[in-house]
Amino acid sequence: MNRELVRAVRERAAERREYCCIPQFALPLPFQIDHVIAEQQGGKTVPGNLALACPHCNRYKGPNIAALDPESGQLVRLFHPRTDIWTDHFEFQRERTLGKTPVGRATVQVMAINASEPLRFRLELLRAGITL
């Protein structure tokens, strides 16, 4: 991936995760460029298919593009940071991220957004008075 594209994706995300919203400065490891629709699924390396993800989100998302909504058991697509609006699908309840829609719930589940490590980082930010 060329350097200019990587920089553009990082700037667009304002150095924040586009999935779980913790800023880069809160994490020791650099964020990664995520193909929203994985290359294995035919996703292209173009701005409209790229997002900035923390290592945790990127690892858990992997090549997934859909998952089961834990509430209904229905197979639904995952959140798409380029075409979806974060607050339409998620909300914070203190350090936890709650899915408000089937897409939000499935994304929280498959990306383990409420796993202990991300929760710890979010709690530290809240304690420091930083609102996500």
Give 57 or 110: the residue with its C-beta nearer to Zn ion. 57
Work out how close the CB of 75 gets to Zn ion at its nearest, in angstroms, rounded to a whole number.
Answer: 23
Where b means 16+ CB within 10 Å and e means fewer, 31-66 reads bebbbbbeeeeebeeeeebbbbbbebbbebbeeebe
Shortest distance (Å) from residue 17 CB to Zn ion: 4
Taking the complex as a whole, the smallest distance from the CB of residue 46 to Zn ion amounts, in Å, to 22
β-bridge partners, 63: none
Residue number with CB closer to Zn ion (49 or 114): 114
Backbone angles phi, psi at 129, to 5 degrees: 80, 15
Closest to Zn ion by CB, 15 or 72: 15
The residue ranges that bind Zn ion (CB under 5 A) are 17, 19-20, 54, 57
